[in-house]
Amino acid sequence: MTTVAVTLSDLRARPDFAAPMAQRIWKAWWEDKGTTLAQIAALVDDNLDAEALPFALIAHRGDAFLATASVIVSDCDERPALSPWVAAVWVEPQARGAGIGRAIVLEAAHRAFALGFETIYLCATPQRRGFYTAMGWEVLEENVDGDGLIVFRMQSDVAALT
């Protein structure tokens, strides 16, 4: 595996990445559901005004966008009592396999724990199971929404080991 030197920045420090972040998230998860890019851009902009949650991280090399991950209050309508969530994890296709996804997800988790949360959650497709369990995420529940999504959790004591 090749590693790529990248910088991880809070979106509040690099608001110039809000537009590419919104576009990637929209294309990946929302365009086919009829949600507009403007709606997703408004959600991304919420990360710019937040004091704690939500927040978004951007992996970049200079001005080149490479990846993103957010920490939000809720990412699973079926599980409203669970909070907070690492969500909207995206790595540019040309940057995959270089450890950037792992780095940004773990940084998002560590920052959530630094805010005082003891447990955080994440949902993903079954195809991503190995990626997340290798980082210490534990499967909490499978086939949550009828689309086969898996809900994962991570405890702050596990994160300290990663």
Whether residue 79 is contained in a domain is answered as yes
User: Is 132 within 8 Å of 121 (Cβ atoms)?
Assistant: no
Does the residue 138 lie in any domain?
no
Please indicate, yes or no, if residue 77 is contained in any of the structural domains.
yes
Q: Tell me, what's the pLDDT at 161?
A: 53
CB 58 within 8 A of CB 9: yes
pLDDT in tens, 20-34: 999 999 999 999 999
Structure-token pair, residue 41: 């851009």
Span 120-140, mean pLDDT?
96
The CATH number for 33's domain is 3.40.630.30
User: Considering its fold, how many domains does the chain have in total?
Assistant: 1
pLDDT exceeds 70 at position 101: yes
Does residue 131 have a pLDDT over 80? yes
pTM of the entire predicted model: 0.90
- Provide the domain limits for residue 37: 7-115
